[in-house]
């Protein structure tokens, strides 16, 4: 009976997600808010709490995180990463200062412990690469003058995450100054070694993964990614960062083949990840923190706009291009939820999950709407 219940519940979840994906696609919106809402409806305090499927969803969600970061890494070559970071260093620094600070300060003002404030700062800092990529593709902005600068900033934010995630993990584990420092140094060393290996041995790695069959290629890249992600997690660096670095290491024509083959699988498991996060948040806890989430959304939409306007004005781009870039980068999504999930799993303030969920819901809806209707003039 338990197996039957599992299959029925899992199938029901996927069917509901199908409806959400169709609705979001019809109106040109990100499906992330709808996936979160599905999780809220099926979790504690929801309309139909799941009985057995949550265990399967938890495993699927971990795979979803790994695939999200692998696909993100495939978007950039090592040279593009280093070039983008050097070219937009001041822009990236302004973005970090202006968008991390509101969340961190808000956490302290709310009376949360410093570790929880550190989590909330990460939630408000990083833009959604998934939503940004979808907007650029759907709206035909790939050839726009602002797009290379948008992508460079996303790269810089991803590199910041490569340092932030192990730092956060060490802090939440109650580590000493030495432990925290060694985690950060380790993350830098691993990132540097991976980038160096990718530049030097990328073609050889790609040839080793090459297969005459689609399933051989999928199995090879998934196996390598999961092994590296598992090793990274064992070293307290973060499975997400490990997967991201594997994506960077792959080069040549095989990158496009992998993107084409894995994108549907990534989308499915990413949807499961957002559902899992929603499952862990009791929707009855959201109304008390809704004002906080809305205030943070308004403030950080403004600080992201200030950072983007300043950065793109320095390179001579006009107001319309700056508005498009702001709209592209306004949404928070997958990484914000990943960061919040780390805080929830560590047993920090019970309000982190509801605040992050409401915050992401607001900006994941507002960003695409502003992109479509607020950038024409």
What CATH number did the domain enclosing 147 receive? Answer: 1.20.1530.20
pLDDT for residue 183: 66
Flag residues of the chain having pLDDT under 70. 1, 45, 51-54, 76-88, 175-177, 179-180, 183-184, 187-188, 190-191, 194-195, 198-199, 235-238, 240-241, 376-377
User: Which range marks the domain in which residue 104 is found?
Assistant: 52-373
pLDDT for residue 132: 83
Nearest to 67 by CA among 275, 211, 203, 239: 239
DSSP-assigned states of every residue in 146-168: THHHHHHHHHHHHHHHHHHHHHH
Tokens 């991803």 found at: 158
pLDDT for residue 229: 82
- Identify whether the C-beta of residue 241 lies closer than 8 Å to the C-beta of residue 163: no
pLDDT for residue 246: 83
pLDDT for residue 305: 95
Residue 38 domain flag = no
Residue 106 domain flag = yes
Angle at 270 between CA 100 and CA 308, to 5 degrees: 30
Residue 90 domain flag = yes
Query: 364-375, pLDDT tens digit by residue?
Result: 888 888 887 877
Residue 171 domain flag = yes
Query: 84-93, pLDDT tens digit by residue?
Result: 566 667 888 9
pLDDT for residue 342: 86
Give me 165's structure tokens.
């995630």
Residue 189 domain flag = yes
Residue 27 domain flag = no
pLDDT for residue 79: 67
Tally of domains in the chain = 1
Residue 295 has what DSSP assignment? H
Residue 119 domain flag = yes
Tokens 């959604």 found at: 128
pLDDT for residue 126: 92
Q: How far apart are the first and last CA of the chain?
A: 59
Give residues with Cβ within 8 angstroms of 125, minimum separation 6.
95, 96, 99, 100, 103, 157, 160
Give residues with Cβ within 8 angstroms of 69, minimum separation 6.
240, 241, 243, 244, 247
Residue 30 domain flag = no
Give me 143's structure tokens.
């050839």
Please tell me the pTM assigned to this model: 0.76
């Amino acid at each position: 009976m338990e197996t039957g219940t599992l299959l029925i519940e899992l199938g029901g979840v996927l069917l509901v997600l199908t409806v959400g994906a169709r609705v979001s696609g019809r109106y040109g919106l990100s499906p992330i808010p709808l996936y979160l809402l599905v999780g809220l409806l099926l979790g504690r305090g929801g309309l139909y709490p799941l009985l057995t499927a949550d265990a399967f969803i938890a495993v699927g969600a971990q795979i979803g995180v790994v695939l999200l970061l692998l696909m993100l890494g495939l978007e950039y070559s090592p040279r593009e990463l280093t070039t983008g970071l050097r070219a937009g260093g001041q822009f990236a620094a302004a973005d970090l200062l202006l968008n991390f600070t509101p969340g961190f300060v808000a956490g302290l003002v709310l009376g949360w412990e410093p570790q929880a404030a550190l989590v909330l700062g990460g939630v408000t800092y990083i833009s959604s690469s998934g939503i940004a990529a979808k907007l650029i593709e759907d709206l035909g902005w790939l050839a726009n003058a602002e797009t290379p600068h948008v992508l460079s900033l996303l790269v810089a934010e991803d590199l910041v995450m490569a340092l932030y995630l192990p730092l956060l993990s060490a802090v939440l584990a109650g580590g000493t100054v030495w432990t925290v420092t060694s985690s950060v140094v380790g993350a830098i060393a691993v990132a540097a070694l991976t980038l160096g290996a990718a530049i030097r041995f990328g073609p050889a790695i790609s040839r080793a993964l090459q297969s005459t069959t689609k399933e051989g290629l999928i199995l090879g890249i998934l196996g390598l990614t999961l092994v590296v992600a598992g090793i990274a997690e064992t070293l307290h660096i973060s499975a997400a960062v490990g997967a991201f670095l594997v994506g960077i290491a792959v080069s040549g024509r095989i990158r496009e083949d992998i993107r084409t083959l894995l994108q549907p699988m990534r989308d499915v498991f990413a949807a499961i990840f957002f559902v899992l996060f929603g499952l862990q948040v009791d929707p009855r806890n959201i109304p008390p923190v809704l004002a906080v989430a809305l205030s943070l959304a308004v403030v950080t939409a403004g600080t992201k706009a200030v950072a983007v306007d300043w950065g793109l004005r320095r390179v001579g781009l006009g107001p319309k291009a700056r508005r498009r870039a702001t709209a592209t980068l306004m949404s928070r999504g997958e990484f914000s939820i990943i960061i919040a999930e780390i805080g929830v799993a560590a047993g920090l303030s019970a309000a982190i999950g509801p605040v992050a969920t409401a915050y992401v819901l607001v900006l994941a809806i507002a960003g695409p709407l502003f992109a479509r209707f607020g950038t024409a003039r």
